[in-house]
Structure 1
Amino acid sequence: MEPMDYIQSAQGARSRARDLGILIGGFATGPLDSITDVPGVRVGHATVRRHPDVHSGVTAVVPDVVGPHAPLPAGMFTGNGYGKLIGVTQLTELGTLETPVLLTSTLSAFRVADALVGWMLEQPGCGKVQSLNPVVGECNDGFLSDIRARPVHEVHVRAALDGASGGPVAEGCVGAGTGTGALGFKAGIGTASRTPDLRGRRYTVGVLVQANFGGTLRVLGRSVTPQSLGLAADPAPVGEAGSCMIVVATDAPLDARQLTRVARRAVFALARTGAAYSHGSGDYAIAFGTRPQTGAPLEDAELGPLFEAVLDAVEEAVLNSLLAATTTTGFGGRTLPALSADRLLEVLSGPATPLVPDGEGPAR
């Protein structure tokens, strides 16, 4: 294996949406506004870099109690299926999650799945396991990273899994988000949470996104482009380069069918951010409950606040992924600019400027 530099910990913190006074929806967040606000959920990253050509990594979302003998209820929704999501058929057929959910680069997904299987077989209670369904999602980071190098290896997967923890989650250019971009800007990993009241009890729903999709960014109803912020940018990735992976966790008592409904709302939320859902975009959401399916789930009629909370959390998580990222020049000298918080606030405080098709000049 060719040596790579890899880092498990966070990059330097930048402003999050709420730090800037950008508040999405009316629900309260969890203490950290993170997927780790859901009890029993941990996140780990391994960031793989070899300048200037490799900007990649792996991110692990790890429920405390999960395995082939202790599966968690789960659902999935595909917005656009141009992707290589591993483990999808058994997840949708049985409505259960048997492993942590790992995110990585497209051509590294298969190696990551193999490493996840190896790690799981070593866990307590798995000594006689002969069947296992690893769940690994991916985004194409080939615009900024040498994707054909397949730089993510078993050592990185184990570092992300073994280093997974509760508490604040590193965002932006870390783990599976190291080389991704969205809506014309450098993006990466983002997270958020909400605590809706259902049936007189407050539950937590948290999301984590690996943002890598096309379209025009919209923030509080305003269209925002690199050009509108005065930023230089190379042409946006096209073709097979788009995608977004969304992981949703909740401690609400939901069954697999209801979690599939939750996953749908997570993908729908991307439209709020300006997603184009292009031909080459693989847009997926996986939603899981942290409670093994025992007892009666909530009634469907009670789920409205939870659905709305997921919409708000995904929108904020995408924005956090952009605000946390840093300008990156990578493979082939291509660059994606960071979303400048100061310039974004200037645009949001100024008059709206409608977008017009290329070549037609400014709107009048």
Structure 2
Amino acid sequence: MDNHLSASAGGRARARSLGVVVGALPTGPLNAITDVEGVLVGHTTLDDGADLHTGVTAVVPRRLATAPAGLPAAVHTGNGFGKLVGSTQIDELGVLQSPIVLTATLSVFRAADALLTYLMELHPDGLSFNPLVGETNDGFLSDIRRRPVTERHVLDALRGASGGLPAEGCVGAGTGTTALGFKAGIGTSSRRVALDGGPVTVGALVQANFSGVLTVRGVPMPVEELLPGVRHEEPPGNSCMIVVATDAPLDARRLGRLARRAIFAMGRVGAAYSHGSGDYAIAFSTAPAHLPPLPDDALNPVFAAVLDSVEEALLNSVFMATTTTGVGGRTSYGVPYDRLQGAGARP
């Protein structure tokens, strides 16, 4: 069975295993952000089975080790109710100089310091660095005030990053997150696009933690209908972090256009875009620096690839997550697959 069709341990399954296919474009071999060559993902998960459900997820572009000037990149802020350390320098210069680390809100600052340690070791002669760290608030299920993430946890995620199929659902920075009324977490997906100059790959990874009504291929799936009779409590607002990687040759301006489409994709799965939701997208290119950027009028299929890969990554983040009970006895439930047929899914 193909990796991107397989179910996870614990009986959870990705969208395509359930018959939920987003768009017509083909996926990469893993249907993951790691289908973009040289993009690695690592997780550190902190879960004590009681009050602590949190962690770290790192997206590591391998080319950063050999590209001291950094990679072209852009950040788009859908709603700025969040903490994205390092974003203003990317806005100013259009350059990504560090791996992207995701974690819980109150652990951002310790994670940024740990990422600085990593960068200083990678570039021993450097005098200034711009670590990029994003977050969502997992305080509904995790005792966020404990700030349990340490330098070791961040370094383990960075150094353990690999190019295989990343774990999804309740793992890493998604261990304690919820979205669209259900338990959520980390999700990923990819698309291949045939262009005149050759095929390119677009991959997305999300940390989903936002309100709204789960919508699968245009069909609303309210939690009250999928879990009738279950007492449901949902945290208001919260956030979503989206990372888009591509090997298409794009400059920072064009990557900004991709990042905006990534935020648009949240609407496809039912995002409420509420007051308290910090929604950010980071897009970067791993293409060799000497290649000229694609012209704007060639970007439509790349835009489609971003929209489809982010939508499917968001669905994977929910479908792969398991029911979790956390701090204060609060419970966030996994999506019941047997009630998804209305969206054309196979239970």
TM-score by length of 2: 0.94
Partners of 1:143 and 1:87 lie apart in 2 by: 26
Partners of 1:208 and 1:116 lie apart in 2 by: 19
Task: Tell me if the contact between 1:73 and 1:292 (Cα under 8 Å) persists in the aligned partners.
Answer: no
Partners of 1:139 and 1:167 lie apart in 2 by: 25
Alignment pair present for 1:171 and 2:168: yes
How far 1:12 moved relative to its partner? Answer: 4.3
How far 1:133 moved relative to its partner? Answer: 0.1
Match in the other structure for 2:180: 183
Could you list the per-position Cα deviations for residues 68-105 of structure 1 after superposition, in whole angstroms to 9, with x for gaps in the alignment?
82400001101111000000100110000000000000
Partners of 1:172 and 1:11 lie apart in 2 by: 11
Match in the other structure for 1:224: 221
Q: Greater shift after overlay, 254-263 or 227-236?
A: 227-236
How far 1:294 moved relative to its partner? Answer: 2.4
Return 5+ residue gaps in structure 2 as ranges: 1-7
Match in the other structure for 1:104: 103
Match in the other structure for 1:246: 242
How far 1:13 moved relative to its partner? Answer: 6.0
Partners of 2:77 and 2:231 lie apart in 1 by: 30
Match in the other structure for 1:156: 153
CA RMSD of aligned residues (A): 1.5
How far 1:291 moved relative to its partner? Answer: 2.3
Could you list the per-position Cα deviations for residues 9-61 of structure 1 after superposition, in whole angstroms to 9, with x for gaps in the alignment?
x8646211111111110100000000000000000000011231010000000
Letter in 2 for 1:198: L
Q: 1:76 to 1:13 in 2, by over 3 A?
A: farther
Partners of 1:58 and 1:121 lie apart in 2 by: 20
Task: Tell me if the contact between 1:72 and 1:292 (Cα under 8 Å) persists in the aligned partners.
Answer: no
Match in the other structure for 1:296: 292
Partners of 2:337 and 2:148 lie apart in 1 by: 31
How far 1:225 moved relative to its partner? Answer: 1.8
Task: Tell me if the contact between 1:46 and 1:159 (Cα under 8 Å) persists in the aligned partners.
Answer: yes
Alignment pair present for 1:197 and 2:197: no
Letter in 2 for 1:90: Q
Match in the other structure for 1:270: 266
Task: Tell me if the contact between 2:206 and 2:314 (Cα under 8 Å) persists in the aligned partners.
Answer: yes
Q: Greater shift after overlay, 132-141 or 16-25?
A: 16-25
Match in the other structure for 2:113: 114
How far 1:178 moved relative to its partner? Answer: 0.2
Match in the other structure for 1:30: 28
Give the secondary-structure state (helix, strand or coil) at the position aligned to 1:92. helix
Partners of 2:135 and 2:11 lie apart in 1 by: 24
TM-score by length of 1: 0.90
Match in the other structure for 1:43: 41
Q: 1:13 to 1:294 in 2, by over 3 A?
A: farther
Task: Tell me if the contact between 1:233 and 1:336 (Cα under 8 Å) persists in the aligned partners.
Answer: no
Match in the other structure for 2:208: 211
Count residues with an aligned counterpart: 336
Match in the other structure for 1:310: 306
Task: Tell me if the contact between 2:20 and 2:344 (Cα under 8 Å) persists in the aligned partners.
Answer: no
Task: Tell me if the contact between 1:198 and 1:306 (Cα under 8 Å) persists in the aligned partners.
Answer: no
Task: Tell me if the contact between 1:70 and 1:98 (Cα under 8 Å) persists in the aligned partners.
Answer: yes
Identity %: 60
Match in the other structure for 1:144: 141
Letter in 2 for 1:331: V
Give the secondary-structure state (helix, strand or coil) at the position aligned to 1:43. strand
Give the secondary-structure state (helix, strand or coil) at the position aligned to 1:57. strand
Match in the other structure for 2:19: 21
Give the secondary-structure state (helix, strand or coil) at the position aligned to 1:263. helix
Match in the other structure for 1:129: 126
Partners of 2:260 and 2:270 lie apart in 1 by: 17
Q: 1:11 to 1:256 in 2, by over 3 A?
A: farther
Give the secondary-structure state (helix, strand or coil) at the position aligned to 2:56. strand
Match in the other structure for 2:90: 91
Return 5+ residue gaps in structure 1 as ranges: 1-9, 351-364
Give the secondary-structure state (helix, strand or coil) at the position aligned to 2:223. coil
Give the secondary-structure state (helix, strand or coil) at the position aligned to 1:113. helix
How far 1:292 moved relative to its partner? Answer: 4.5
Partners of 1:99 and 1:267 lie apart in 2 by: 22
Following TM superposition, the consecutive aligned residue runs of length 4 or more in structure 1 with deviations greater than 3 angstroms are: 10-13
Give the secondary-structure state (helix, strand or coil) at the position aligned to 2:187. strand
Task: Tell me if the contact between 1:44 and 1:59 (Cα under 8 Å) persists in the aligned partners.
Answer: yes
Partners of 1:49 and 1:55 lie apart in 2 by: 5
